[in-house]
Amino acid sequence: MAAELLLYGVKGSPFVRKVEVFLAEKGLAFDIEAVMPFPAPDWFVQLNPAKRIPVLRDRSVGTEGPAGTLPDSSVICAYLERKQPSPALYPQDAWSHARALWYEEFADSELAARIGAGIFRPLVLSRLFGREPDLATARKTLSEDLPPHFDYLEREVEGREFLLDGIYSIADIAVASQFVNLLHAGARVDATRWPGLAAYLSRLHARPSFAACIVAERKVLPKVEALD
């Protein structure tokens, strides 16, 4: 029997993963249908003219065409929070809620641009499409472009279990999701330089919701050598 929720996207996308983890943490059953965004098929463009994954279909709202569909991982997660409020993955306090949204935006823009375009795409996607990996770009990104972001996150997680102390939220899901792509590219956060961040990511990636995604993705993504 088909699940009420259908997720369009592909394994390895940090934004698809973000929604998958969110769904798992909510305990919501869902189906996934593979859609490659480059190029996006014509029918998918009708669901999201931005031609990006993921898109969620809520079959209780609509089963064909654009009806019942929502694009964008942030929009999808916000919708799922309202659809099933428990367990809460957005803080109730106004300030903490706003901070969670900021961390999500930081992950989806700043981290995604560097980890995705600067490391995952030059290494993993190049391998996937039969091209030589661009090691120079990946190494520059890891050694020059990402350290200021790691410094920031190290300060933010210092002495905390989660980004919002005591509250596991969309902030943690969004940030940790981007770092999975760093793992897939054979790179890691240096635990000697950023011990708090490394420990934080290790804890989150060990959660069943993340661990299941990581295992499934490793089965379909090409293996790459460790990035030194």
**Is 149 among the domain residues?**
yes
CA distance 168 to 17: 17
**Is 197 among the domain residues?**
yes
Residue 123: alpha-carbon gap to chain centroid: 18
Which DSSP category does 167 fall into? B
Q: What is the pTM of this model?
A: 0.96
CA distance 206 to 95: 28
**Is 184 among the domain residues?**
yes
134 and 205 together in one domain = yes
Residue 88 pLDDT:
97
35 and 119 together in one domain = no
The answer to whether the beta carbons of residues 183 and 214 sit under 8 Å apart is: yes
**Is 220 among the domain residues?**
no
Across the range 74-93, mean pLDDT stands at 97
Residue 38 pLDDT:
80
Of 34-48, 86-100, 143-157, 203-217, the range with the lowest mean pLDDT is: 34-48
203 and 98 together in one domain = yes
Residue 106 pLDDT:
98
Range of the domain at 61: 5-83
The answer to whether the beta carbons of residues 77 and 89 sit under 8 Å apart is: yes
If one counts every other C-beta atom within 10 angstroms of the C-beta of residue 153, the result is 23
99 and 204 together in one domain = yes
20 and 115 together in one domain = no
Residue 161 pLDDT:
95
**How many domains, in total, are found in the chain?**
2
Instruction: Give yes or no for residue 47 having a pLDDT over 90.
Output: yes
Residue 48 pLDDT:
95
**Is 228 among the domain residues?**
no
The answer to whether the beta carbons of residues 186 and 219 sit under 8 Å apart is: no
107 and 203 together in one domain = yes
Domain final residue, candidates 28, 48, 83: 83
Residues above pLDDT 90, as percent of the chain: 91
Instruction: Give yes or no for residue 207 having a pLDDT over 90.
Output: yes
CA distance 228 to 220: 23
Domain final residue, candidates 28, 54, 83: 83
* The pair of three-digit structure tokens given for residue 217, joined into one six-digit string: 């993705």
Which DSSP category does 200 fall into? H
CA distance 35 to 53: 8
Residue 153 pLDDT:
98
Q: How far is CA 211 from CA 63, 178, 181, 201, in A?
A: 31, 14, 13, 12
**Is 89 among the domain residues?**
no
Residue 60 pLDDT:
96
Residue 107 pLDDT:
98
195 and 108 together in one domain = yes
